Structure 1
Amino acid sequence: MTTNTRLESDAQTHEEAVESVRDAIGAYCHALDDGRVDDLVALFTADGVSALPGMEPVEGHDALRQLYRGLTPQAPQRHLVVNTVVTEQGDRATALSDLVFLARGESGWAVSLVGRYEDVLRRENGRWRFARRSLSFAGA
């Protein structure tokens, strides 16, 4: 019997690591857009940092939970992350991604902002987690 399931503790090839980092980035966007705060926080290391424009960076799960509870969507939204470039070395990776943020209003979907994520991730117990996630807005 064959299976696509692999133990998380297995060593990853570079390609598998890149795919797993991109999966973490996608999971972040889905959790944020769906307002699933606990799922979002679980994507960070215990000492993980989120740095958003116009706000002081926050560190650790409690502070992250408080931050993201305040960002729960009040209307449909989508974070579209594209052009992700991942550099992986062992249990550490960096990723640079472009962001297009869409919000749905009375007139339908519209681009609300454009930005860039700069990420540092660590592999812990077979899972890639954000050690630092920084966002900057284009033109800022």
Structure 2
Amino acid sequence: MNTDAGDIQHLIARYPVMSDLGKPTDVVRLYTAEGTLELPDGREARGHDAIRDLIRGFHAGIAEDARTAHVRHHVTSHSSQSAGIDKATATTYFLVVTNSGIDHWGQWQDWLKRTLDGGWRLHSRKVVVEGAVEGSWFAHAYPDA
């Protein structure tokens, strides 16, 4: 695995850990300053402050629901490709498990940019949910997604 592919895989692997631990400020550091995050219901946040606020709101909603006393995002498969010298794309499959069991699954569609120091950051992430268990937290929180 070349260094870029390994660095990108490491970046993407850090995302669910930081998110599940409730560290939105750490999650935001994985994005470029002008980065975007799009949720399955079409809401989009642009820039660090907006992404942080969106993630905090997401965590507040989870905290209010007994089905999500425990949430873990599991990365199951990942593929990244160069899109030029300083750009890359990645598709990552995920599975979300709560204290009630499997909740929902889908993929992250990412565009990444190389930083001035040679590292990588998310420039945009689109969360695509492909399925959810009936009665799950996701099915309740995003009925129209």
Give the shorter-chain TM-score range: 0.7 to 0.9
User: Could you tell me how far 1:104 is from its partner in structure 2?
Assistant: 1.4
User: Could you tell me how far 1:101 is from its partner in structure 2?
Assistant: 0.5
Listed as ranges, the gaps of 5+ residues in structure 2 are 64-68, 132-144
Within the candidate set 50, 53, 78, 1:63 is matched to: 50
Classify the secondary structure of the residue corresponding to 1:95: strand
Q: Aligned-pair RMSD on alpha carbons? A: 1.5
- Residue 96 in structure 1 maps to residue 91 in structure 2: yes
Residue-pair matches, total: 123
TM-score by length of 2: 0.79
TM-score by length of 1: 0.82
Residue equivalent to 2:23:
36
**Aligned equivalents of 2:12, 2:73: Cα separation in 1:** 10
Within the candidate set 110, 114, 121, 1:123 is matched to: 114
User: Could you tell me how far 1:79 is from its partner in structure 2?
Assistant: 0.7
Residue equivalent to 1:114:
105
Classify the secondary structure of the residue corresponding to 2:99: strand
User: Could you tell me how far 1:15 is from its partner in structure 2?
Assistant: 1.2
Return the letter of the residue paired with 2:70.
P
**Aligned equivalents of 1:38, 1:126: Cα separation in 2:** 22
Residue equivalent to 1:78:
72
Q: What is the aligned-residue identity percentage?
A: 31
**Aligned equivalents of 1:77, 1:56: Cα separation in 2:** 21
Query: Which has the larger helix fraction?
Result: 2
Return the letter of the residue paired with 1:94.
T
Residue equivalent to 2:40:
53
Listed as ranges, the gaps of 5+ residues in structure 1 are 1-13
Residue equivalent to 1:22:
9
Q: Which structure 1 residue ranges, 4+ long, deviate > 4 Å from structure 2?
A: none
Classify the secondary structure of the residue corresponding to 2:105: strand
